[in-house]
Amino acid sequence: MVTEKKVIDEVSGWLRVFDDGSVDRTWTGPPQVKFMSDPVPPHHHFIDGVATTDVVADQDSGLKLRIYLSEKQEDDLEKLPVLLHFHGGGFCISQADWFMYYSVYTRLARTARAVVVSVFLRLAPEHRLPAACDDGFAALLWLSSVAGGQKQQPWLHDHADFNRVFLIGDSSGGNIVHQVAARAGREKLEPLRVAGAIPIHPGFCRSQRSKSEMEQPETPFLTLDMVDKFLSLALPVGATKDHPITCPMGEAAPAIEGLKLPPYLYCVAEQDLIKDTEMEFYEVMKRGGKEVELMTSDGVGHSFYLNKIAVDMDPKTAQETQKLFKGIKDFIQSH
């Protein structure tokens, strides 16, 4: 007799967890937005000025990366800065090759004149934290080995300036940015240098609901249900949102002033559900004497720039996306 699997947890549209431990990430939300989670195959030829390739950085662990290379322009420097990218998804969903990231990071590679290296992160609940943070740091170590000549990657060897590596991440990827930056400060990575960190709408929160969580509007990219369920599936068993990965400004986290951190471009959205706790981290960074530049996107919510439909159809979203990308480009050029 075949026993039918039972759903024991669900995040609407995104993910179902079964009683045998298996996970189904088939999109079950509105079909008209499914295309944003469709994988985009790599293409070694330039399309709209950008080529992509997938690389297995570690055969043993299976760590995989996607590289975005923009077509050379006349006024480009000989070598371009590197954006090491960590995708979002509450540590539980999404992949580096999803269309929503492809559309954003091909554009950013073009506009910021940078090589983007995006990490395929292990997902919870199969791989609970700190697995995704470990993957992010492993990718940085791999970049360091390419910079030092121990590993070979022709695109990076020919085009990447390893003295200007920037960590960038969306939502929960912003949490990984901070964790990797803190670990990098304790390591010798030469000839690679981490020149800056760019957390965009990081998933910083506390166990207790903030005022913004109770008052700000929910969006397709962040609801209270998503915050609660994704983190319950992602954090170590028995941990709460006050864990250092989700609450780096909290009592359980290492003191910010004791960390060796690069300059931060810290990006928040005015209508983000978790803006209050994001801003709490910003204030702790300032009090800790860290170099941190705040960039606020007005009138938009969490990860607004990843919503291709809104970027194409809504002038306000398009305008704020353009401003965000310009801010990132300016930060990179000044560091």
Residues belonging to the active site: 171, 272, 302
**105: three-class secondary structure by DSSP:** helix
Residue with tokens 């179902």: 16
Q: How far apart are CA 321 and CA 104, in angstroms?
A: 10
Using CB atoms within 10 Å of the CB of residue 232, give its burial: 0 to 12 exposed, 13 to 18 middle, 19+ buried.
middle
Q: Report the Cα 196 to chain-centroid distance in Å.
A: 14
Residue with tokens 């039918």: 4
At position 284, the amino acid (one-letter code) is V
**CA-based nearest residue to 122, from 104, 105, 136:** 136
Q: Residue 160's CB: how many other CB atoms inside 10 A?
A: 24
| DSSP string covering 201-246 | S-----SSPPHHHHHSPPBTTB-HHHHHHHHHHHSPTT--TTSTTT
Q: Residue 1's CB: how many other CB atoms inside 10 A?
A: 2
* Strand intervals (E) in 107-193: 115-120, 160-170
